Amino acid sequence: DVQMTQSPYNLAASPGESVSINCKASKSISKYLAWYQQKPGKANKLLIYDGSTLQSGIPSRFSGSRSGTDFTLTIRSLEPEDFGLYYCQQHNEFPFTFGSGTRLESK
Protein backbone atom coordinates (compact mmCIF):
# COMPACT_ATOMS: atom_id res chain seq x y z
CA ASP A 1 0.00 0.00 0.00
CA VAL A 2 1.09 3.60 -0.58
CA GLN A 3 1.93 5.27 2.70
CA MET A 4 1.03 8.95 2.96
CA THR A 5 3.08 10.97 5.44
CA GLN A 6 1.36 14.21 6.29
CA SER A 7 2.87 17.15 8.19
CA PRO A 8 2.64 19.06 10.37
CA TYR A 9 0.30 17.38 12.81
CA ASN A 10 -0.78 20.74 14.26
CA LEU A 11 -0.60 24.20 12.77
CA ALA A 12 -1.57 27.49 14.40
CA ALA A 13 -2.13 30.61 12.34
CA SER A 14 -4.10 33.84 12.36
CA PRO A 15 -6.73 34.98 9.87
CA GLY A 16 -5.05 36.66 6.94
CA GLU A 17 -1.90 34.54 7.15
CA SER A 18 -0.89 31.89 4.62
CA VAL A 19 -0.17 28.30 5.57
CA SER A 20 1.12 25.17 3.90
CA ILE A 21 0.38 21.52 4.65
CA ASN A 22 2.55 18.76 3.24
CA CYS A 23 1.97 15.20 2.17
CA LYS A 24 4.64 12.76 0.99
CA ALA A 25 3.86 9.53 -0.80
CA SER A 26 5.98 6.42 -0.16
CA LYS A 27 6.23 5.84 -3.92
CA SER A 28 5.21 7.55 -7.12
CA ILE A 29 1.50 8.36 -7.35
CA SER A 30 1.95 10.62 -10.37
CA LYS A 31 -0.26 13.68 -9.82
CA TYR A 32 -3.09 11.77 -8.17
CA LEU A 33 -3.57 13.38 -4.79
CA ALA A 34 -6.69 14.85 -3.24
CA TRP A 35 -7.11 17.18 -0.30
CA TYR A 36 -10.13 17.27 2.02
CA GLN A 37 -11.32 19.56 4.78
CA GLN A 38 -13.08 18.16 7.83
CA LYS A 39 -15.09 20.21 10.30
CA PRO A 40 -17.21 19.08 13.25
CA GLY A 41 -20.81 18.30 12.38
CA LYS A 42 -20.21 18.71 8.64
CA ALA A 43 -19.54 16.32 5.82
CA ASN A 44 -15.95 16.22 4.60
CA LYS A 45 -15.32 18.58 1.74
CA LEU A 46 -13.22 17.83 -1.34
CA LEU A 47 -10.89 20.76 -1.97
CA ILE A 48 -8.41 19.65 -4.62
CA TYR A 49 -7.87 16.58 -6.80
CA ASP A 50 -5.22 15.55 -9.30
CA GLY A 51 -2.72 17.37 -7.11
CA SER A 52 -3.68 20.88 -8.15
CA THR A 53 -7.20 20.98 -9.64
CA LEU A 54 -9.58 23.02 -7.54
CA GLN A 55 -12.93 21.38 -6.94
CA SER A 56 -15.90 23.40 -8.13
CA GLY A 57 -17.03 25.95 -5.56
CA ILE A 58 -13.78 25.98 -3.59
CA PRO A 59 -12.26 29.45 -3.12
CA SER A 60 -9.14 30.26 -5.10
CA ARG A 61 -7.16 30.93 -1.90
CA PHE A 62 -6.75 27.14 -1.79
CA SER A 63 -4.10 25.71 -4.07
CA GLY A 64 -2.19 22.48 -4.50
CA SER A 65 1.23 21.73 -5.89
CA ARG A 66 3.50 18.78 -6.47
CA SER A 67 7.20 18.06 -6.62
CA GLY A 68 7.84 14.39 -7.29
CA THR A 69 6.20 12.51 -4.43
CA ASP A 70 5.84 15.63 -2.29
CA PHE A 71 2.56 17.50 -2.33
CA THR A 72 1.58 20.78 -0.72
CA LEU A 73 -1.74 22.36 0.10
CA THR A 74 -1.45 26.11 0.47
CA ILE A 75 -4.13 28.34 1.90
CA ARG A 76 -3.51 32.03 1.26
CA SER A 77 -5.04 34.72 3.42
CA LEU A 78 -6.80 32.46 5.90
CA GLU A 79 -10.46 33.07 6.56
CA PRO A 80 -12.10 32.14 9.90
CA GLU A 81 -14.00 29.28 8.24
CA ASP A 82 -10.73 27.63 7.10
CA PHE A 83 -9.79 26.35 10.54
CA GLY A 84 -10.31 22.63 10.90
CA LEU A 85 -8.74 19.32 9.91
CA TYR A 86 -7.13 18.64 6.56
CA TYR A 87 -6.37 15.26 5.00
CA CYS A 88 -4.60 14.15 1.87
CA GLN A 89 -5.53 11.02 -0.09
CA GLN A 90 -3.71 9.29 -2.92
CA HIS A 91 -6.07 8.32 -5.73
CA ASN A 92 -3.53 6.64 -7.99
CA GLU A 93 -3.99 3.03 -6.97
CA PHE A 94 -5.99 0.64 -4.81
CA PRO A 95 -6.22 0.63 -1.91
CA PHE A 96 -6.71 4.38 -1.65
CA THR A 97 -4.86 5.68 1.37
CA PHE A 98 -4.98 8.83 3.47
CA GLY A 99 -2.57 10.98 5.38
CA SER A 100 -2.92 11.19 9.15
CA GLY A 101 -4.32 14.70 9.10
CA THR A 102 -3.31 18.24 10.01
CA ARG A 103 -5.21 20.28 12.56
CA LEU A 104 -5.25 23.96 11.57
CA GLU A 105 -6.06 26.10 14.59
CA SER A 106 -6.55 29.78 15.13
CA LYS A 107 -3.64 31.42 16.92
Partner 1 sequence: QVTLKESGPGILQPSQTLSLTCSFSGFSLSTYGMCVGWIRQSSGKGLEWLANIWWNDDKFYNPTLKNRLTISMDISNNRAFLKIINMDPADTATYHCVRGAGPARAYFDYWGQGVMVTVSS
| H runs (alpha helix) in 3-98 | none
Task: Please give the residues from 3 up to 42 whose contact with partner 1 meets the rule CB under 8 A.
Answer: 32, 34, 36, 41-42
The CA-based diameter of the chain, rounded to the nearest angstrom, is 38
101 contacts partner 1 (rule: CB under 8 A):
yes
Q: In this structure, what is the dihedral angle of CA atoms 37, 80, 106, 36, given to the nearest 10 degrees?
A: 10
Return the residue of 49, 62, 71, 86 that touches partner 1, per CB under 8 A. 49
Contact residues for partner 1, defined by CB under 8 A: 1, 32, 34, 36, 41-46, 49-50, 55, 87, 89, 91-92, 94-101
